[in-house]
Amino acid sequence: MKISINWYLKKKTIRVVLAVIVVLILYFLLKWNNNNNNNNNEDFINPALKYDELQWIMNNKSLDIENDLKNYVWAKLINNDTDHISLYYRNLSNGSWIGINEDEQFSPASLMKVPLMLAYFKKSENDPFVLDQKKLFEGNPEEKEFKQNIPPTKLLKHNKEYTVWEMIEYMIRYSDNRASIELEKMMPLDDYKRVFIDIWSNFPDFNNWSFDNNIRVKDYAGFFRILFNSSYLNLENSQRALKLLSQVSFDDWLKAWIPNNIKLAHKFGERGIMWADGIEQKQLHDCGIIYYPQHPYILCIMTRWYDRDQLVSTINELSSIVYWWVDKIYGNNN
């Protein structure tokens, strides 16, 4: 059977035209998706912008920001304004990072609520009914051991039924210890520990309803990194977790001197340790993602000292220094 040359050419032309149409459709779909992501104020995970547009490193400016931070920390220590300051900064656009005393260990306190949330979300990916389970809250005597200097704006009510999802919301948005204690009791310890193991970190020891000094700032920052990159939870749960963290009712410390239009997904923690001489030593921590346009970054700060006001001022000012530098570097590039 003979095939005419004209028929062959027509067939080849049709294939080329169809290929062009497919490429154009994909191009416009991708362009629409990128535009949609850029305009979506509810997008908290990695927008996956083109790597070649974001990979440039800060070069000498990264040294400037590190020197400013180190000088500030050094001055605080010399002036006896604090005892310990640890800081971890990570540019989520290019992966560059800065650590200051990042191996120092602290008591995580309420920071433990984030990995507990992750443990439940991870479990829900295999059992979608986990978050819908209901439990009657009858109260827990252990909550008296957790004095909250920053009182929750909402608390679980006694003799009321809540779903696991509702308790997670109370635990994260309002930092309600009642909710976290209930959720800890319901979560198998091995599943809770697995979250730490999966990010190559040790699970803090738990003694007498308190965590000892056994978590490092750079390890804790890992929870926010895996959420942003959706490398531990699926996309839906990563987004859900960061959205909850962006709704935290507490807006001081890291957030204090950052413009209101900049989103922040974070968790704070506070613990007081009473020594034998009757003097209480404070620990204040705040860690999260600051969503600077197109150049979000992780900032974790952990502090320890006797004067709470000094610690608050330290976190405020360090966060302000980092934001000022990021804005100086990237402000004209958006």
pLDDT in tens, 209-263: 455 668 899 999 999 999 999 999 999 999 999 999 999 988 899 998 899 999 9
Whole-angstrom Cα distance, residue 55 to residue 66?
A: 19
Residue 42 domain-assigned (yes or no): no
Query: How does residue 145 score in pLDDT terms, banded at 50, 70 and 90?
Result: low
Full residue range of the structural domain in which residue 25 is found: 1-37
Q: Are residues 69 and 146 in the same domain?
A: yes
Give the tens place of pLDDT for each residue, 23-56.
445 444 444 444 444 444 567 877 653 333 334 4
Domain count, the chain: 2
Asked if residue 289 lies in contact with residue 223, where contact means CB atoms within 8 angstroms, the answer is no
Whether the per-residue pLDDT at 331 is higher than 90: the answer is no
Q: Are residues 165 and 278 in the same domain?
A: yes
Residue 45 domain-assigned (yes or no): no
Q: Are residues 131 and 155 in the same domain?
A: yes
Q: Are residues 63 and 31 in the same domain?
A: no
Residue 226 domain-assigned (yes or no): yes
Q: Are residues 159 and 230 in the same domain?
A: yes
Cα distance from N-terminal residue to C-terminal residue, the chain: 63
Model pTM above 0.85: no
- pLDDT of amino acid 206: 56
- pLDDT of amino acid 19: 56
Q: Are residues 63 and 136 in the same domain?
A: yes
The CATH number given to whatever domain includes residue 298 is: 3.40.710.10
